[in-house]
């Protein structure tokens, strides 16, 4: 088999199940791709070939011995370094956690292992999954940011180093890097994936998400990890969305009615990106209409930062007071914004966010999905920033499922994602619309 590291997770899992490919061969191909590219891309913070090969060989042997394979049997996955791993350090992108070795796997890593995945290594996160960048560069153009905070997870998948990876999103940390690097990024409905053993910044906003190179792969890994965990208080009672079955059922589906949403931060988009998004929406013809969000959404971004910064002032209170030299200036600036905020201001911002979530449920009822920019433009040619998350805050705050589909190109030929958003718990719809758009692009191209 030629270049197995370029297979999608769905293809790789099928080839392993059928005996056409071994997990060991696949892992070796991924590690060779990483060896060739890592010095430039810098997607990984911890790689342990021996642990990866040991997992792969054990899975190959289990299959040979007749064991029923899990849905991800033998497929390697990269894990953002904010999720605890019992056999690899978890350092949170911070010097304060250098060399830290958890004694237990996080919930999502446990579920991936149960599904048969190989945990290939830990991917670079920005400092505490916030704004201060790590070493990762954009694999499409090494002078550009990969976005953040899930920098390594997005870059590794986009660069064919691994077919799947796990990231997280509190503002725009999944969708924006997906758009910048040209990977499929999926932030599910709030409460779909356990956050146990992940560094929590803000219970109200933190989501687990996944990267892949095909919509089907998002469904495959999603089904494997959307399982209830009583140790995450915010999980849905029924977090599974039957994504693989949903996509199969919707194989011939085409959406009846889509909406194009510019959103209140439209002015923050680059001119060429605005043109590209508007042209794309126009090209979809009669099935798409324009939806203007009501004025209650105008303050969504501001409220988002009130909620997040309040939590950062609490979560990092001790570090800010005792070891400020170990925190980045960007993080300290956010904490400094959070400290003077009044509790009643946080309550009001949270109440408005909750009200927006209810409003969106009603606004979306008429549409199969909503299309909106995944990012304000191409990845900036600046490695000191991770770019602007303004186009992601509303959808994170409202807990709706969002997918970044690498459908467009910017003026410099860099990828530009279209963000597909569906009502809460209609994750299968978000994926079905994403696949439909992707197939159209392929048949056009």
Reduced 3-state DSSP string for 209-267 = EEEECCHHHHHHHHHHHCCCCCCCCCCCCCCCCCHHHHHHHCCCCCCCCEEECCCCCHH
> Based on CB atoms, which residue is closest to a copy of itself, 144 or 196?
196
Task: Report how far residue 403's alpha carbon sits from residue 416's, in angstroms, rounded to the nearest whole number.
Answer: 13
Long-range pairs of 53-60 with CB within 8 A, sequence gap ≥ 24: 53/24, 53/27, 53/28, 55/23, 55/27, 55/118, 55/119, 56/22, 56/23, 56/24, 56/26, 56/27, 56/118, 57/23, 57/24, 59/23, 59/116, 59/118, 60/22, 60/23, 60/24
Stretch in the footprint of a copy of itself (CB under 8 A) among 37-45, 149-157, 340-348, 436-444: 340-348
Which 166-205 residues touch a copy of itself, going by CB under 8 A? 203
Does residue 339 belong to the site contacting a copy of itself (CB under 8 A)? yes
Does residue 365 belong to the site contacting a copy of itself (CB under 8 A)? no
Does residue 327 belong to the site contacting a copy of itself (CB under 8 A)? no
Does residue 104 belong to the site contacting a copy of itself (CB under 8 A)? no
Q: How far is the CB of 362 from a copy of itself (least distance, A)?
A: 11
Q: Of residues 116, 163, 338, 410, which one binds a copy of itself by CB under 8 A?
A: 338
Q: Per the residue annotation, which of 106, 149, 192, 425 is the catalytic one?
A: 149
Q: How far is the CB of 333 from a copy of itself (least distance, A)?
A: 15
CB 410 within 8 A of CB 377: yes
As a dihedral over the C-alpha atoms of residue 331, residue 42, residue 77, residue 18, rounded to 10 degrees, the angle is 160
**Pick from 77, 76, 75: nearest CA to 15:** 75
Q: Is 161 helix (H, G, I), strand (E, B) or coil?
A: coil
Does residue 333 belong to the site contacting a copy of itself (CB under 8 A)? no
Stretch in the footprint of a copy of itself (CB under 8 A) among 113-121, 124-132, 174-182, 230-238: 230-238
Q: Is 173 helix (H, G, I), strand (E, B) or coil?
A: coil
Task: Report how far residue 421's alpha carbon sits from residue 371's, in angstroms, rounded to the nearest whole number.
Answer: 6
Q: Per the residue annotation, which of 22, 80, 199, 263 is the catalytic one?
A: 80
Does residue 39 belong to the site contacting a copy of itself (CB under 8 A)? no
Does residue 310 belong to the site contacting a copy of itself (CB under 8 A)? yes
CB 335 within 8 A of CB 316: yes
Q: How far is the CB of 288 from a copy of itself (least distance, A)?
A: 28
Does residue 233 belong to the site contacting a copy of itself (CB under 8 A)? yes
Q: In Å, what is the CA distance from 309 to each residue of 208, 314, 334? A: 19, 9, 6
Stretch in the footprint of a copy of itself (CB under 8 A) among 77-85, 151-159, 168-176, 235-243: 235-243
Q: Of residues 332, 354, 359, 385, which one binds a copy of itself by CB under 8 A?
A: 354
Does residue 348 belong to the site contacting a copy of itself (CB under 8 A)? yes
Q: Per the residue annotation, which of 168, 173, 328, 425 is the catalytic one?
A: 173
Does residue 249 belong to the site contacting a copy of itself (CB under 8 A)? no
Does residue 236 belong to the site contacting a copy of itself (CB under 8 A)? yes
Q: Of residues 285, 295, 325, 340, which one binds a copy of itself by CB under 8 A?
A: 340
**Pick from 315, 314, 312, 310: nearest CA to 348:** 310
Please say if 254 is a catalytic residue.
no
Residues comprising the chain, all counted = 445
Q: How far is the CB of 350 from a copy of itself (least distance, A)?
A: 9
Which 259-288 residues touch a copy of itself, going by CB under 8 A? none
Buried b (16+ CB within 10 A) or exposed e, 331-357: bbebbebbeebeeeebeebbebbeebb
Stretch in the footprint of a copy of itself (CB under 8 A) among 2-10, 49-57, 95-103, 336-344: 336-344
Angle between helices 329-338 and 300-315 (to 10 degrees): 100
Stretch in the footprint of a copy of itself (CB under 8 A) among 89-97, 119-127, 231-239, 385-393: 231-239
Q: How far is the CB of 123 from a copy of itself (least distance, A)?
A: 28
User: What phi-psi label fits residue 387: left (phi over 0), alpha (psi between -120 and 50 degrees) or beta?
Assistant: left
Does residue 359 belong to the site contacting a copy of itself (CB under 8 A)? no
Please say if 149 is a catalytic residue.
yes
Please say if 80 is a catalytic residue.
yes
Task: Report how far residue 135's alpha carbon sits from residue 42's, in angstroms, rounded to the nearest whole number.
Answer: 6
Q: Of residues 98, 101, 231, 323, which one binds a copy of itself by CB under 8 A?
A: 231
Q: Of residues 39, 65, 343, 365, which one binds a copy of itself by CB under 8 A?
A: 343
Q: What is the token pair recorded at 168?
A: 């997280």
Binding site for a copy of itself (CB under 8 A): 203, 231, 233, 236-238, 306, 310-311, 313-315, 317, 338-348, 351, 354, 357-358
User: Any idea which residues carry the catalytic annotation?
Assistant: 80, 149, 173
């Amino acid at each position: 088999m030629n270049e197995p590291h370029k297979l999608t997770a769905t293809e790789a899992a099928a080839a392993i199940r059928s005996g056409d490919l071994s997990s060991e061969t696949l892992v070796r191909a991924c590690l060779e791709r990483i060896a060739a590219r890592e010095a430039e891309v810098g997607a990984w913070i911890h790689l342990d070939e021996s642990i990866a090969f040991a997992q792969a060989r054990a899975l190959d042997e289990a299959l040979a011995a007749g064991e029923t394979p899990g849905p991800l049997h033998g497929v390697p996955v990269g894990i953002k370094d904010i999720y605890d791993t019992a056999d690899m350090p978890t350092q949170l992108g911070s010097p304060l956690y250098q060399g830290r070795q958890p004694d237990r796997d996080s919930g999502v890593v446990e579920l991936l292992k149960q599904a048969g995945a190989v945990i290939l290594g830990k991917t670079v996160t920005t400092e505490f999954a916030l704004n201060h960048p790590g070493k990762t560069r954009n694999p499409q153009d090494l002078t550009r940011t990969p976005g953040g905070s899930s920098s390594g997870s997005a870059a590794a998948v986009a660069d064919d180093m691994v077919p799947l990876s796990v990231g997280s999103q509190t503002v725009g940390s999944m969708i924006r890097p997906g758009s910048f690097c040209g990977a499929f990024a999926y932030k599910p409905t709030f409460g779909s994936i356990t956050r146990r053993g992940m560094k929590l910044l803000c219970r109200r906003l933190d989501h687990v998400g996944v990267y892949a190179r095909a919509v089907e792969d998002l469904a495959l890994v999603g089904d494997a990890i959307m399982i209830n965990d009583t140790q995450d208080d915010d999980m849905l009672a029924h977090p599974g969305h039957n994504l693989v079955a949903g996509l199969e059922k919707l194989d011939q589906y085409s959406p009846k009615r889509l909406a194009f949403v510019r959103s209140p931060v439209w002015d923050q988009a680059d001119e060429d990106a605005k043109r590209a998004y508007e042209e794309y929406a126009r090209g979809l013809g009669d099935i798409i209409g324009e939806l203007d969000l009501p004025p209650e959404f105008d303050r969504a971004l501001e409220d988002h930062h009130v909620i997040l910064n309040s939590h950062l002032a609490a979560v990092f209170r001790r570090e800010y007071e005792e070891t400020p030299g170990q925190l980045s200036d960007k993080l300290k600036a956010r904490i400094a914004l959070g400290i003077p905020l009044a509790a009643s201001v946080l309550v009001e911002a949270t109440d408005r966010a909750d009200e927006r979530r209810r409003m969106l449920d009603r606004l979306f009822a008429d549409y199969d999905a909503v299309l909106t920019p995944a990012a304000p433009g191409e990845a900036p040619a600046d490695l000191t920033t991770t770019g602007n998350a303004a186009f992601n805050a509303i959808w994170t705050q409202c807990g709706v499922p969002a997918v970044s589909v690498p459908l467009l190109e910017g003026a410099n030929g860099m990828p530009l994602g279209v963000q597909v958003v569906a009502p809460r718990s209609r994750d299968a719809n978000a994926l079905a619309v994403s696949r439909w758009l992707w197939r159209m692009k392929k048949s056009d191209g």
